[in-house]
């Protein structure tokens, strides 16, 4: 009785087509009982031969700078992402892949040094845009201070009208600035598309960050500094030591620009 049970445990049901042409030629199409001690070593050797053939074919093909690998189980995917595949991060970097509709396929093939160089160029161009935009903000900020405009003879009579002064001081600067800010996302989007990012979400995140930094530096800080300097420029040149007190006097005068 014990000997019969041992014989049953050593048998395995094999369906030849499940193992490709090797299984069909060796075991046929119909399911059959095969000795497990004979089947498993033979199947393992066949898998090793197939793996060696695939490796040789991969070596003969041209190398690719990037690849997308899918896994059937979440556990295997997590282990592969957390494993160290190379000590050189520039040669083999692993990151979670975005959704298929999010992938920017033309950027997937870029090497890491190319992506780094592109992003550096994009950030340099962005800060240059901020610096070149500062004089425009200063020109927009100038009409806010009515005292400067009242010093111009041919504008004095016109600015004495309540409607004209209210329009120039409270509406036109904000309108011009809003037009510039409405065009800005298109300029930044055209710039970010050259950064070599791999997903649409990454581009949107970078666009949001750049738009915030642009408003912080080019609009808020430069508007505050330029409006304050224009209104107190002569006093600041006469006595530079009064910088803090002059800022305390002229800074509140720029409130109308940000409140509108």
Element (H, E) at 9: helix 2-9
pLDDT number for residue 86: 72
pLDDT (tens digit, 9 = 90+) per residue, 40-72?
Answer: 999 999 999 998 988 888 777 766 677 788 888
| Averaged pLDDT for residues 110-114 | 83
Contact predicate 211/133, CB 8 Å: no
Cα 172 to Cα 38, 178, 228: the distances in Å are 88, 10, 19
Phi-psi region of 103 (alpha: psi -120 to 50; beta: other; left: phi over 0): beta
pLDDT tens-digit readout, 158-185? 666 666 666 666 666 667 777 878 888 8
**Within 10 Å of residue 198's Cβ, how many Cβ atoms?**
19
**Which tokens sit at 257?**
């620009």
pLDDT tens digits, 88-102: 766 777 778 888 888
pLDDT, residue 3, reads 47
Q: Identify the pLDDT of residue 260.
A: 52
Q: Residue 4: which pLDDT band, with cuts at 50, 70 and 90?
A: very low
The per-residue pLDDT for 258 is 55
Burial of 144 (0-12, 13-18, 19+ CB in 10 A): buried
Residue 136 is predicted with a pLDDT of 67
């Amino acid at each position: 009785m014990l000997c019969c049970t041992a014989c049953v445990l050593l048998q395995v049901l094999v369906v030849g087509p499940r193992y490709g042409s090797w299984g069909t030629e060796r075991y046929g199409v119909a399911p059959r009982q095969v000795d497990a001690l004979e089947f498993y070593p033979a199947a393992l050797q066949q898998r090793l031969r197939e793996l060696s053939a695939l490796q040789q074919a991969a070596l003969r093909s041209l190398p690719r700078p990037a690849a997308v690998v899918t896994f059937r189980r979440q556990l295997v995917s997590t282990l592969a992402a957390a494993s160290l595949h190379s000590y050189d991060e520039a040669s083999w970097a692993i990151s979670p892949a975005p959704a298929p509709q999010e992938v920017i396929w033309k950027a997937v093939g870029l090497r890491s040094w190319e992506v780094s160089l592109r992003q550096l160029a994009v950030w340099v161009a962005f800060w240059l845009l901020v610096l070149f935009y500062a004089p425009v903000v200063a020109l927009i900020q100038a009409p806010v201070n009515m005292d400067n405009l009242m010093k111009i003879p041919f504008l004095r009579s016109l600015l004495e009208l309540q409607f004209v002064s209210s329009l120039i001081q409270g509406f036109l600067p904000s309108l011009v600035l809003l037009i510039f800010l409405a065009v800005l996302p298109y300029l930044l989007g055209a710039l970010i598309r050259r950064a070599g990012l791999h997903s649409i979400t990454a581009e949107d995140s970078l666009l949001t960050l750049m738009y915030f930094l642009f408003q912080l530096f080019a609009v808020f800080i430069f508007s505050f500094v330029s409006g304050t300097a224009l209104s107190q420029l002569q006093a600041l040149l006469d006595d530079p030591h009064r910088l803090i007190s002059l800022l305390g006097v002229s800074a509140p005068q720029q409130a109308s620009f940000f409140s509108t």
